[in-house]
Structure 1
Amino acid sequence: MSTALAPRVDAPSDLELVVATLDGTYAAFEVLFRRYSDRVFGIAMGMLRNEAEAHDIVQETFLSAFRKLHTYRQESPFRSWLFRIASNACLMRLRARRRRPEVPLEVRSPGFKDDGHHERPVVDWSPLAPKLMEDQELGERLHAAIEGLPDKYRAVLVMADYEHLSMKDIAVEMNLSVPAVKTRLHRARLAVRQELCEYLNGTV
């Protein structure tokens, strides 16, 4: 049984590397690690805002992926599967940090019409971006707001805004239609935005 990848001009695909790993060529998994470890670290830093924990998440994610590699199905890209492992690991840490009852989305967010759009104007999100990058307390409020979302909304938000998956990929992951994904993402972003705006306005 070979333990090294044969030289080739073009880079092997993720699926080829997965198959090679399952066949015992463990160097193939090292290639996957080099290919995606920075992306996993970025996801973890974005969600946890803690470098040490982010490094831990990288190790946990790839160890978990290696152990569960035989369960990977090809319905979605390998990177999507890997990033889900990473985001779930981050969410578990966030839950451990901040235990609080889950509040229904409708209670914490603006009212919605039947088409998923809000009934009244809300504060523009874009001006908050620079402050989010600089204000640790506000960053913690952001993560708390995300953690407080119902699971079906939080999962879509994390995949879209942290994993940067396409609407189509998220739809496949969640077994939803693309319009349903867009509606959930719209509502999740509005709920988080509303909580941050209330915090900035001193109402929280």
Structure 2
Amino acid sequence: MRPKDSLAEAHDRVVAGRAADGDPRAFEVLVRRYSTLMRVYARSILGTNDEVDDVVQEAFVTAWQQLELLEDPGAVKGWLMRIVSRRSIDRLRARHEHEDIIDYDPPAEAAASPAQVAQARSLADAVGAALASLPAGQRRCWLLKEVAEYSYREIAADLEIPESTVRGLISRARVNMAREMQAWR
């Protein structure tokens, strides 16, 4: 097995430790390992794909510059997610309150009928509105659990709250989402 392959299979603690020591190949492994998850999470916060790549790139630049400050290399996933969360929120704060242009409307797939496309968009809008109606804590916990597929323990560590609080927030978020999405059942 080549060293690069063994590094790709190594535990986060080992990879992050080597990256903190200045190993660019180890950092590359972290980028490949977590960039998709970070993109999905950034997209869920930003509500659009327009700034996702920039936010994720900024998060990785910050991570590279501050990796030696990470106290527990085994917690690098949660640390990266906190960075991308903060960068995404910074982008939201910097946005103007008005929309300058209408979102780009990509062409429908050849197999999708106009009715199917309209229904899918309507459902996506309803989910977005339901998420927007949740209190911030419930929304964050729900997104980390349902979109990023974090465990309750990982969410608690990421948000620095007790695991029991996470369970309660997710439970209330699920009830609220079900109520908001009742029309789609």
- TM-score (ref. length: structure 2): 0.67
For structure 2, the 5+ residue unaligned runs are 98-115
Structure 1 residue 177: Cα displacement: 3.5
TM-score normalised to the size of structure 1? 0.62
Answer 1 or 2: which has greater helix percent: 2
Structure 2 distance, partners of 1:14, 1:167, is: 19
Counterpart residue number, 2:137: 152
Change (3 A) 1:74 1:157: same
1:7 corresponding residue in structure 2: 3
Aligned to 1:134: 120
Shift of 1:46: 4.1
Q: Match for residue 109 of structure 2? A: none
Distance apart, 1:157 and its partner CA: 1.9
> Where does residue 72 of structure 1 map in the other structure?
70
CA distance in 1, matches of 2:162, 2:177: 23
CA distance in 1, matches of 2:42, 2:151: 19
- Tell me the distance in 1 between the aligned counterparts of 2:90 and 2:15: 28
Q: Is this contact kept in 2: 1:57–1:90, CA < 8 A?
A: yes
Identity %: 29
Of 55, 58, 71, the match for 1:60: 58
Whether 1:178 aligns to 2:174 is: no
After TM superposition, the structure 1 = structure 2 runs for residues 26-41 of structure 1, keeping only pairs within 5 Å, are 26-41=24-39
SS in 1 for 2:145: helix
Contact 2:39 2:56 in 1 (8 A): yes
Q: 1:87 to 1:161 in 2, by over 3 A?
A: farther
Count residues with an aligned counterpart: 164
The question of whether the paired residues in 1 share the 8 Å contact of 2:78 and 2:157 is answered with no
TM-align CA RMSD = 3.5
On the 8 A contact 1:43/1:162 being kept in 2, the answer is yes
Structure 1 spans left out of the alignment, 5+ residues: 1-5, 100-129
